[in-house]
């Protein structure tokens, strides 16, 4: 597989994480480097780990799991999105939401479920240098997510209720995962 192909796959896989990072940045008034590194670390790690896991577990069980990746991602993102929307009405007067590890972990898992299926596909074509591929996917996702936090912060200034927009964005990402 060529480097260009791997980079395109990495870019495609990183789009959900980028969108979630934009949402994460929109929830913060002024995200700092720590916030960006934290989000990028979670998203980059899981986008790299999931294809590797799919590659390693490409036995009979993973074929059954592959059918449900869209549904799993949809349910997780739907629940988080709805929770964000409801909390936006309940917590009026708050200036920014804290970025917690639990939320980032769930978002990272939800946005990387499709990467598991990519790992299964990598195993099917018997790629030889899987470690390089997953490192590339993780690095691209890290970079996209890092930038997404700051883009989301700028975007949030356009809306007074960025948490509602963030919840809606996560629900749409979930719908996209369900339809693919």
Q: pLDDT per residue over 2-55, tens digit each?
A: 778 888 888 888 888 888 888 888 877 677 899 899 999 999 999 999 988 888
pLDDT exceeds 60 at position 59: no
For 58-97, b/e burial (b = at least 16 CB within 10 A) is beeebeeebeebbebbbebbbebbeebbeebeeeeeeeeb
What ranges do the domains of the chain cover?
3-179
In three-state secondary structure terms, 50 is helix
2: left (phi over 0), alpha (psi -120 to 50) or beta: beta
DSSP 159: -
pTM of this prediction exceeds 0.85: no
């Amino acid at each position: 597989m060529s480097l260009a192909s791997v980079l395109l796959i990495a870019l495609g896989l990183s789009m959900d994480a980028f969108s979630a990072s934009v949402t994460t940045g929109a929830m913060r008034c002024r995200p700092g480097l720590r916030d960006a590194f934290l989000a990028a670390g979670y998203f980059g790690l899981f986008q790299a780990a999931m294809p590797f896991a799919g590659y390693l577990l490409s036995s009979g069980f993973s074929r059954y799991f592959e059918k449900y990746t869209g549904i799993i991602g949809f349910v997780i993102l739907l629940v988080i999105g709805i929770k964000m929307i409801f909390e936006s009405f309940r917590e009026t007067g708050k200036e920014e939401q804290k970025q917690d590890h639990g939320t980032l972990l769930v978002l990272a898992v939800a946005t990387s479920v499709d990467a598991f299926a990519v790992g299964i596909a990598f195993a099917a074509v018997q790629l030889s240098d899987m470690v390089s591929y997953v490192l590339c996917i993780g690095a691209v996702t890290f970079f996209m997510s890092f930038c997404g936090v700051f883009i989301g912060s700028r975007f949030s200034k356009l809306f007074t209720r960025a948490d509602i927009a963030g919840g809606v964005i996560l629900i749409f990402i979930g719908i996209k995962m369900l339809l693919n």
